[in-house]
Amino acid sequence: MLFLLALPAGLAIGAISGFFGVGGGFLLTPILLLLGYPPATAITISLLYSMSTSISGALTYIKSKNVLLKTTVFLAISGMIGTQLAKPVVLYLTENGLDDTVISILYLLLLGYFAISLLSKARSNKQAHVTSTISPLRTILIGLLGGFISSILGVGGGFVMVPLLINVLRIPARLAVGTSLTSIFFIVSTGFFSYIQTVTIPLTLATLLVIGALLGARFGAEMTASFSEDMMKKLLATLYFFTLISILFKLLHHATSGLLLLIVYIVTLIVLFLYQYWTKKKRLFFLE
């Protein structure tokens, strides 16, 4: 049953990751954990998936010139270093049976913080703008944190980097997403090839998810043109919030309820994307 759902799940999560610049593993890792996969396996599959969503989505952003190349280089290099710093931490947690609990709690803390920060920034109505004085040091620190979290949680790192690029470096949401996705490909590739040497993954499941990722991420990236900067921030905050609640259900031994909640939210987002896509196509048709 799981394998039959892998392709549509890959498409849906890919579309969301392409839209938000979060790599895909941000959603896939907790879903795989809720389904009972060991953390190391879930992380490895999610890193492979994030490689696919990031390169697919990044190509769309590069084409539309929504990527800051210098910032991308700083994030990618420091992020790759961060993934290597995290690997011994993950192995230690796994060997001592602490991985499931620690990873879930870390997810909760990060999701809660970023959901609140994004909503508060959205309410402030301050417009972010690109300047020529983006701090290289702050960019490197964001990349290190993104890479470290990427390797520990099996995510692209974008769910950490995107809000930090918006709130700390004051980069507009659309540029932050494109820059994050482009750097994520290099970061998660480093993490994946590090893990795959010691972890075996179900190849059929991984392949179907990757196919979905390649198709879905481009659609999601194209959908950003249909939403305002403020709406993108609010939607990202709600995504973090519902993922947080689903993981909380898991910690309270109600994994099925958490999984259903996350699925309902993902479906709702996809319906919103399709509605916006249809509305835009219909508007263009009448203009012609």
Based on the number of CB atoms within 10 Å of its own CB, is 79 exposed (0-12), middle (13-18) or buried (19 or more)?
A: buried
**CA 40, CA 86: separation in Å to the nearest integer?**
13
**CA 3, CA 78: separation in Å to the nearest integer?**
36
Q: Are 114 and 218 in contact (CB under 8 A)?
A: no
pLDDT of residue 77: 93
pLDDT of residue 125: 47
pLDDT along the chain (288 residues), means of 10: 74 85 72 78 84 83 88 92 82 76 78 79 52 80 87 71 86 87 85 82 86 86 82 85 83 81 87 85 64
Q: Are 145 and 160 in contact (CB under 8 A)?
A: yes
**CA 227, CA 122: separation in Å to the nearest integer?**
14
Domain extent for 156: 2-287
Number of domains into which the chain is organized? 1
Q: Are 178 and 62 in contact (CB under 8 A)?
A: yes
